[in-house]
Amino acid sequence: MPSLKCIDCKTEYPTTARIYTCSACSGLLDVVYPMSEFRGERLMSTWDWRKASPKPIDQSGVWRFRELLPDAGESEIITMIEGNNQIWDAPRSAEYGGLDRLAFKHLGMNPTGSFKDLGMTTGITQAKRLGATRVACASTGNTSASMAAYAARAGMKAVVFIPSGQIALGKLSQALDYGAEVIQIDGNFDDAMRLVRELANESPLYLLNSVNPFRLEGQKTIAFELLQQRGWQAPDRVVVPGGNLGNSSAISKGFRELFEAGVIDRIPKLAIIQAEGANPLYRLWLKFQQSEHVEDLELEPIADAFTLATAIKIGAPVSWPKAMRGLKQSHGLVESVTEQEIADAKAIIGRDGLGCEPASAVTLAGIKKLVAAGKIDPAEDVIAILTGHLLKDPDYTVNYHSGSLGFTDKNGQRIQLESRFANSYVKVPAERKAIFEALSL
């Protein structure tokens, strides 16, 4: 039977405890399993067999792996057949990044267009198991879109807290359409996060941010599915965007469990990439590499985090201790990339016919930087995780291609980004001749 375990003081709780952090020391919680009971060969054959089964819980790219998920009765499971996200070869992106080969696992191809669905199916299922009727989250947009959809499927009420004027319109439109109560906070994501955590402790609202360990259980199957798609062969490295640091923590937990179960014989190295204006983990990582007293290091929040990649505009990431654990266990890396680097990388991913939202493009921008610095070998077998769909934030894309992407910095100065890979559109009179000329026909 799985249980909850504090990552700091190791206190254990049953999975039916309605807690988000350790009651004894406030540390983050893991869902843990009796790993010695599992046999790698057995897990792989069960999971491979299920791919051919028509049952929804076998077809879900999360619940297919249910031996290593919190127990839930089949009738309790709320699934939208999430997952099954392909790994795509991306030759133009590989060339841009300086790698011989690069593949993207595109989690934007999920029911609500982001990786959050993988965690929301387990999060909402746990909410149902605990008898919750109203669920809540703070969000830069994708968590709220996903939670709103899954709550609607489960017949629950969703309450979402979003930072004022800072979420991409595609995401807001989803939360509204799926019927969530949307509360815009006069503050940033970190303010919203702090408030909703307080509210969840003092009210019947069930918290579905990634501090909730049941969310991360679903997201760890990104690692499982990735390995299954590759015939259970581990890549050298997995590159992930870092915001609140739930996803990078979840993916590294997934790899570690399959290593412990004997499915893989090495843990892929993790690379977490952050935007330069919202890079508290990167700053901590630099200190970690220079310090002799690494156990004493704490993440210093960034009060006025900024990036146009609004999904990862986060200054006080909740799951940083778990992300650090994953980095240490995998001999990983952290990199930080500029707004210009993100914008250009996003345009290149588009040219591979895949596209993504800005936060996902930090992966390619980071790879380019790490290869140039000699920290990633061009021959490495690298999988980068695209976290959100291109259509989540069309304003950003259109502004880039029309040469008007920019922002106002802390000093009130307008910073205009260059559109180095712009695909600008042309305007022509409604005449045959003009069209022939415009297309050089």
The rounded distance, in Å, linking the Cα atoms of 124 and 135 is: 8
Binding segment for ligand F0G among 135-143, 172-180, 371-379, 402-410 (CB under 6 A)? 135-143
Asked if residues 365 and 110 have their Cβ atoms less than 8 Å apart, the reply is no
CA 221 vs CA 9, 33, 235, 329: distances in Å: 26, 15, 15, 18
355 binds ligand F0G (CB under 6 A): no
Select the span of 48-56, 236-244, 256-264, 374-382 touching ligand F0G (CB under 6 A): 236-244
Q: Which of 156, 311, 337, 342 binds ligand F0G (CB under 6 A)?
A: 311
From candidates 69, 211, 299, 359, binder to ligand F0G by CB under 6 A: 359
- 271 or 359, CB closer to ligand F0G? 359
**Pairing, β 87-89 against β 29-32:** unpaired
Between residues 269 and 322, which has the closer beta carbon with respect to ligand F0G?
Answer: 322
Q: Quickly tell me which residue has 């399959």 as its tokens.
A: 258
Q: Which stretch binds ligand F0G (CB under 6 A): 125-133, 243-251, 300-308, 416-424?
A: 243-251
Residue type, 334: V
Q: Where are the beta strands (DSSP E) in 139-290?
A: 157-163, 181-185, 206-207, 237-241, 269-275
Indicate whether 349 belongs to the interface with ligand F0G (CB under 6 A): no
Kindly tell me which residue out of 112, 122, 174, 244 binds ligand F0G, with binding defined by CB under 6 A. Answer: 244
Closest distance of CB 104 from ligand F0G, Å:
13
As a whole number of angstroms, the distance between CA 269 and CA 377 comes to 12
**What is the per-residue binding string for ligand F0G in 166-205, x denoting contact by CB under 6 A?**
----------------------------------------
**Using rule CB under 6 A, residue 245 touches ligand F0G:** yes
Q: Determine the straight-line distance between the first and last CA of the chain, rounded to whole angstroms.
A: 68
Q: Which residues, numbered 262-301, are part of the site for ligand F0G (CB under 6 A)? A: none
Site for ligand F0G in 140-159 (CB under 6 A): 140-143
The one-letter amino acid code at 441 reads L
Residue 210 interacting with ligand F0G (CB under 6 A)? yes
Considering only 360, 363, 397, 419, the residue that binds ligand F0G (CB under 6 A) is: 360
Please state the closest distance from residue 317 (CB atom) to ligand F0G, in A: 7
Residues contacting 196, CB < 8 A, separation 6+? 136, 137, 138, 161, 205, 207, 209
Binding status of residue 242 toward ligand F0G by CB under 6 A = yes
Question: Quick one: which of 59, 122, 139, 174 contacts ligand F0G (CB under 6 A)?
Answer: 139
- Give which of 359, 366, 344 is closest to 422, Cα–Cα: 344
Instruction: Candidates 70, 111, 243, 366: give the one binding ligand F0G (CB under 6 A).
Output: 243
Q: Which of 368, 177, 342, 376 is nearest to 243 (CA)?
A: 342
Identify the three-state secondary structure at position 22: coil
122 binds ligand F0G per the rule CB under 6 A: no
Inter-residue contact 127 to 135 (CB < 8 Å): yes
Q: Are 385 and 239 in contact (CB under 8 A)?
A: yes
Q: Which residues contribute to the site for ligand F0G (CB under 6 A)?
A: 114, 116, 139-143, 210, 241-248, 311-312, 357, 359-360, 387-388
